[in-house]
């Protein structure tokens, strides 16, 4: 079965040397890629610039830069790839840079470097849509079967009620994996949600990989 795994963070350029990004090393996605490849899945990795290289030997290892680049590559891959599942870990920026001002007039983000002597650098951001909500439609637009979608939700200091509320917002995913910023680390606990309800948890990335493989096989059998 073909599986697409997205991970790492987008980089939203302010200019040619500065960018806004999210917290993500790509370590979890890299480990999941190795686990899936080792289990016989045909893995394509779509990962952010600077993120950890995938473990194992995926069939394809493709990089993305900003939100627009990730969106375009998701469209093309899902329309042509015939993926049975998408594991969407990518830390996607909710906002991209619309325009910037360094002590003078507003300009669009440019390839060069803005002057560093301006007393104030002003950055105006624009809201991005949720890529997770469009993954199945991107596959259907190419005449492909809609994939089983696993979404990931990171919260910061959320209690159980807030975590469940956050996970429930990812209604486009068939399965939601939740973790909290205060619990990051190799042995962290991942909450598992289906249809907005918590159904269990696993501890550590290896256990998460086993659960995801089982869920994907069950959904596609």
Name the helix (H) or strand (E) containing 63: strand 60-64
Q: What confidence score (pLDDT) does residue 129 get?
A: 98
Alpha helices in 61-200 (DSSP H): 67-81, 135-141, 160-168
Alpha carbon 29 to its chain's center? 9
Please tell me the predicted confidence (pLDDT) of residue 185: 67
- What does the alpha-carbon distance between residue 157 and residue 70 come to, in Å, rounded to a whole number? 28
Looking at residue 183, its pLDDT comes to 77
Please list the pLDDT of the chain residue by residue as tens digits (221 residues): 999 999 999 999 999 999 999 989 999 999 999 999 999 999 999 999 999 999 999 999 999 999 999 999 999 999 998 999 999 999 999 999 999 998 778 988 888 888 888 888 899 999 999 999 999 999 999 888 999 999 999 998 888 889 899 999 999 999 999 998 887 766 789 999 999 899 999 999 999 999 999 999 998 87
Query: Distance between CA atoms of 109 and 14, rounded to whole angstroms?
Result: 5
Spatial CA neighbour of 141 closest among 92, 88, 74: 74
* Spatial contact of 15 and 42, defined as CB atoms under 8 Å apart: no
Secondary structure (3-state) at 35: helix
Query: How far is residue 65's CA from residue 195's CA, in Å, rounded to a whole number?
Result: 32
pLDDT of 22 reads 93
* DSSP labels, 178-194: EEEGGG-STT-EEEEEE
Q: Which of 144, 178, 138, 147 is nearest to 161 (CA)?
A: 178
Of 130, 147, 195, the closest CA to residue 167 belongs to 195
This prediction has a pTM of 0.94
Instruction: Estimate the crossing angle of helix 27-38 against helix 205-220, to 10 degrees.
Output: 50
Contacts of 41 (CB under 8 A, 6+ apart): 1, 2, 3, 213
Domain ranges within the chain, ordered by starting residue: 2-93+131-220
**What is the token pair recorded at 126?**
């624009």
Task: Determine the pLDDT at residue 17.
Answer: 92
Where does 143-184 have alpha helices with state H? Answer: 160-168
> Strand pairing partners for 90?
none
- Domain 2-93+131-220, CATH class in plain words: alpha beta
């Amino acid at each position: 079965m073909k599986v697409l795994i997205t991970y790492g963070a987008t980089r939203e350029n302010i200019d040619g040397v500065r960018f806004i990004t999210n917290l993500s090393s790509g370590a979890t996605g890299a480990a999941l890629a190795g686990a899936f490849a080792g289990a016989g899945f045909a893995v394509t990795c779509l990962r952010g610039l600077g993120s950890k290289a995938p473990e194992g030997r995926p069939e394809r290892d493709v990089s993305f830069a900003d939100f627009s680049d990730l969106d375009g590559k998701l469209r093309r891959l899902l329309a042509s790839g015939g993926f049975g599942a998408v594991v969407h870990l990518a830390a996607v920026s909710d906002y991209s840079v619309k325009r910037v001002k360094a002590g003078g007039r507003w300009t669009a983000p440019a390839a060069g470097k803005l002057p560093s002597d301006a007393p104030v650098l002003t950055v105006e951001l624009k809201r991005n849509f949720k890529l997770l909500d469009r993954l199945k439609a991107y596959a259907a637009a190419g005449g492909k079967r809609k994939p089983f979608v696993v979404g990931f939700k990171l919260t910061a200091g959320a209690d159980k009620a807030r975590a469940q509320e956050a996970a429930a917002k990812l209604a486009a995913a068939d399965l939601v994996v939740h973790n909290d910023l205060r619990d990051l680390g190799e042995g962290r606990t991942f909450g598992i949600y289906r249809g907005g309800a918590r159904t269990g948890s696993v501890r550590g990335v290896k256990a998460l990989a086993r659960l995801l493989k089982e869920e994907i096989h069950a959904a596609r059998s």
